[in-house]
Amino acid sequence: MLDLSSFKGFFGGHRILVTGGAGFIGSWLCDALVELGAKVVCLDNLSSGRVDNIKHLLNSGRFEFVNADVSSWCAGEGFDVIVHGASIPSPEDYMSRPVETLLSNSIGLLKLLENARENGSILLYMSTSEVYGDAAIIPTPETYYGYVNPIGLRSCYDESKRFGEALCMAYFRQYNVDVRIARIFNSYGPRLDVNARYARVVPRFILQALRNEPITVHGDGRQTRSFTYITDTVAALVMMLAKDTVRGEVLNVGNPKETSILELAEKIIKLTGSSSKIVFTEPRPDDPRRRCPDIRRAKELIGWEPKVQLEEGLKYTIEWFRKCV
Ligand SMILES: NC(=O)c1ccc[n+]([C@@H]2O[C@H](COP(=O)([O-])OP(=O)(O)OC[C@H]3O[C@@H](n4cnc5c(N)ncnc54)[C@H](O)[C@@H]3O)[C@@H](O)[C@H]2O)c1
């Protein structure tokens, strides 16, 4: 992981709210912020997050857990920094709970922006590469408008994140709230939910490989994604909080190395030494064909680029999954 210790001066003593803090990215971010001296309030309704991800922080003296839904929660206090990550990110999960997905990125976010407005806080919004939909420009720069089906099965996620970004920018322009938006591309690593009913592609393939079961690839597997190891994702989020250059900005946070799903499956079979065979299943609705970020803006504004290569990150992740299954 990038050495973030130079940011201790910025975070020391800050009171920071992390919504979705018991989830995958949120819990790694809580770890980093507590380590940097911040006092963290983690808000999560545990719909996909787990207490296991944060239990090591509970006695740190700088960490508090609130079990609540962000869309109905009343803060009753202010924060120096708010990070909004509470959302349902796994496609099958958000397709089966589209209303909750829309609410956490609209009403939930609205409440947090009002809180930030009243207290002069920084608000970092965890958006997604899915705002680009099936992008026509690869690598995709932040200036690309997106090609998204507004009423398709994925729209509850894609469009709610697009609305969330628009709401952040409205608060920035109209009320001068210090908003920052991270468009995150597939992040992976330890703590991805092993027991999820609908696991995301990296944990699903690893589990199938470790169990020597068929690896299920949707479509022909030639669709590409950008896989970013969790420590790189978290480093970008920390840097976005600490650097004023990103006030009112949106940044792609992803690995510029494009990898096909088939290539990912083959790498995982090799790294686990599995006897699994690849099987092809029906394509997912509105599944983007290619996804790869242009990260020149992140390099320029915060000096960030990912450090961990896919094979290395997969090895750490597989090691962790072996202990869990
Ligand atoms: N992991 C990725 O590759 C990725 C990619 C793009 C964007 N994102 C975004 O990053 C954020 C974190 O994703 P993640 O991968 O850590 O997923 P995750 O499911 O592990 O974490 C999301 C957390 O939010 C909580 N949550 C969901 N709805 C809530 C609600 N209404 N109120 C309170 N808590 C709620 C869940 O319990 C969970 O702990 C999400 O906003 C997601 O959209 C993630």
What pLDDT, on the 0 to 100 scale, is given for residue 310?
97
What pLDDT, on the 0 to 100 scale, is given for residue 93?
86
Query: Sorting pLDDT into bands at 50, 70 and 90, what band is 90?
Result: confident
DSSP state of 21: T
DSSP state of 184: E
Across the chain, the runs of DSSP E, i.e. the strands, are 15-19, 39-44, 63-67, 81-84, 122-128, 178-184, 187-188, 215-218, 224-226, 228-229, 249-253, 258-260, 278-281
DSSP state of 293: B
The alpha carbon of 88 and the centre of ligand 1 are apart by a number of angstroms equal to 5
Burial class for 277, CB neighbours closer than 10 Å (0-12, 13-18, 19+): exposed
132 is catalytic: no
Question: CB of 160 closer than 6 A to ligand 1?
Answer: no
Question: CB of 89 closer than 6 A to ligand 1?
Answer: yes
Region 95-124: mean pLDDT is 96
- DSSP assignments along 196-215, one per residue: -TT--HHHHHHHHHHTTPPE
| Paired strand residues for 184 | 128, 253
Nearest CA to ligand 1 atom 28: 87
Question: CB of 232 closer than 6 A to ligand 1?
Answer: no
CB atoms within 10 A of CB 100: 19
Every domain of the chain and the residues it spans: 8-188+229-256+291-307
Q: Write out pLDDT tens, residues 50-86.
A: 999 999 999 999 999 999 999 999 888 999 999 999 9
Q: Write out pLDDT tens, residues 113-158.
A: 999 999 999 999 999 999 999 999 999 999 999 999 999 999 999 9
Distance CA 56, CA 225 (A): 32
Mean of all residue pLDDT scores within the chain: 95
Region 254-273: mean pLDDT is 97
Token couple for 235: 């480093």
Question: CB of 20 closer than 6 A to ligand 1?
Answer: yes
Distance CA 158, CA 89 (A): 10
Query: Sorting pLDDT into bands at 50, 70 and 90, what band is 198?
Result: low
We find that the CATH architecture of domain 8-188+229-256+291-307 is 3-Layer(aba) Sandwich (3.40)
Higher pLDDT, 10 or 161: 161
Question: Measured between alpha carbons, how far is residue 28 from residues 1, 32, 49, 258 in Å?
Answer: 12, 6, 12, 24
Distance CA 36, CA 79 (A): 16
pLDDT at 311 over 60: yes
The alpha carbon of 87 and the centre of ligand 1 are apart by a number of angstroms equal to 4
